[in-house]
Structure 1
Amino acid sequence: MTNQEKAQQLLGLVRRAGQLTTGEQFTLASIRDRSAKLVILANDASDNTLKQFRDKTASYQISLDETFTKADLSAAIGMKRTVVAIKDAGFADKLKALLS
């Protein structure tokens, strides 16, 4: 099993644990209130979405990962999404380690 597959499984666990914020508006809100520890953005999102989240996470100094496609991200969490935020620092650190 590759690290990316392990990360996808971990994302599913994060969702079931209630530590995942999904959807663009909710993710932006979690960045603004600094509850997001890691933002995962699909690398095949629209140019506008990519720019918006790259700028926002850089501004608030929150880690951003663009490893997954929309299909990978959606399969991992069981719903169609382009961007998600992990709220738990432990889960975020583990995902960063798997994806680096």
Structure 2
Amino acid sequence: MKNNEEKIYSYLGLATRAGKIVSGDDSTLLELKRGNVKVVIVAEDASNNTKKLFKDKSSYRNVPYAYFSTKLQLGFAIGKAPRAVIGVKDDGFANKIVELLK
């Protein structure tokens, strides 16, 4: 039986293959401002400035956000280099990830 953390990584991988993920500070911020991001995941080991930036931007736009995992693990989950921020652009994936994060 998988725990919630493993399930979240699985959903991030699926969302990536479906083209429903945006990653990295600049790309995620741009898509967030366009209103395309449904949930923002910020690595727990991201800088305080990055955490504050995405907390403020997400709160302002009523987009759920969470501090989860490490940059290395988030990058690995989506098959890329370490990532401090990931945005999920699909409602279905976002809802499931938010549910698992609680």
TM-score by length of 2: 0.93
Unaligned runs of 5+ in 1: none
How many percent of aligned residue pairs carry the same amino acid?
41
Q: Which residue of 2 aligns with 1:66?
A: 67
**What residue in structure 2 maps to residue 2 of structure 1?**
3
Deviations 1:43-66 (A, max 9, x none): 110111111111111111111011
SS at match of 1:43: coil
Structure 2: give runs of 5+ residues left out of the alignment: none
d(CA) in 2 for partners of 1:5, 1:86: 17
Q: How many residues align?
A: 100
Scaled by the length of structure 1, what TM-score is found? 0.95
Moved over 2 A (4+): none
Per-residue deviation, 1:70:
1.0
Q: Deviations over 1:14-71 (max 9, x none)?
A: 0000000111111001111110000011011011111111111111111101122112
CA RMSD of aligned residues (A): 0.9
